[in-house]
Structure 1
């Protein structure tokens, strides 16, 4: 009897994770393709196959679900930095993270503009602050070694300004020039990293 009860609890936990995951996937899809207006409670619930109270149960309200979906989009950028830094150091991590953010902006411009709006409103994805702290800690070591040309906190601010600038450009309305975004992005990354670091990795 005890094993049956334990299995039942485990199954419910698995179902809970599946429902939350499905809600996040649907919310991300609708935010990316339809914007905030299209990602309404009704639309999300219809695609996810759940009732409206489910959103409130797992995320508090629609805004909470939107925030969770937006937070999730930035995780790929954070992972790109961490993986690059692990393999070849912070400079490669910066290059990878910057590239991942711009790729996201190019592939999902509408969702990227929502992320930028959150940042401008002082409500950035939860992983942004965590990632910036990690970058600053990594760069502090390079500054102590004489590789970084300015204090780590200044370098992080300069990098963030540059990243947001290229992302805004990439995610804005399409024109012929913007189709050249990979080339322009690489030039911007090279200019900024060359200015910040005394030697290349």
Structure 2
């Protein structure tokens, strides 16, 4: 029982420190997030931070994880959207809106390579994005491979937010965000389902997306068909 109580106290202290660091980041900027300032804001001694997080970099990783969890809580995953393209557009808008509303936190999360990307919240968020992309592929509306689509969506949203935040207020034109979103939509999706178009690539991509869900073929047959479909998808 004592061990359980100690773990609970430790977790409460950890959460209080992370929230204090996130608050300093939001209101005073990155330079304000020092171990001394965070300790004072959280009402703990500085050694507590080192004991719980190892060092300042470990604390920043935890703040990034907190950011991914906050972002994840705002996401809505619709397993059967009426229009998968509009679902993608709405998801992109939500990501950008989060970044604009939380500039310091967003810069920490996405301005540094791989900060916090091993967290469960980041992986859950990626699962939602990959689900959106998979539904596009299954509907024949995906123009590129699923992995490339994920990279394009991430890159444009991240670039849109970081570019916007780098601009002076009088140069922040909402048309920039709209143009970047629509450029992403054009690069990733097709106006009409590819299975209605001439050529095998779109149909192969749609079938490739649904292949793991079928049970008729043996594992060997499924693997072989997957290789053929990958070859047809690449031949465009």
What band does the TM-score fall into relative to the shorter chain?
A: 0.7 to 0.9
Pairing of 1:57-76 with structure 2 (within 5 A):
57-76=51-70
Q: Within 5 Å, which residues of 2 pair with 1:18-57?
A: 18-57=12-51
Summarize deviations over 1:95-126 as a string: whole Å, max 9, x none.
3442233223322323333333313xx44543
What is the TM-score of this pair, normalised by structure 1? 0.75
Q: Say if 1:142 and 1:148, in contact at 8 Å, map to a contact too.
A: yes
Unaligned runs of 5+ in 1: 1-5
How do 1:61-140 and structure 2 match up within 5 A? 61-81=55-75, 83-86=76-79, 88=81, 91=85, 94-119=88-113, 122-123=114-115, 125-126=117-118, 127-128=121-122, 131-132=125-126, 134-136=128-130, 138-140=132-134
User: Which consecutive residues of structure 2, in runs of 5 or more, have no partner in the other structure?
Assistant: 193-236
Q: Residue 177 of structure 2 aligns to a residue in which SS?
A: helix
How far residue 66 of structure 1 moved from its aligned partner, in angstroms, is 1.0
> Quick check: which has more Rg, 1 or 2?
2
Give the TM-score of the pair, scaled to structure 2.
0.66
Measure how far apart 1:15 and its partner are.
Answer: 2.4
* RMSD value, Cα: 2.9
Aligned residues: 189
Could you tell me how far 1:156 is from its partner in structure 2? 1.3
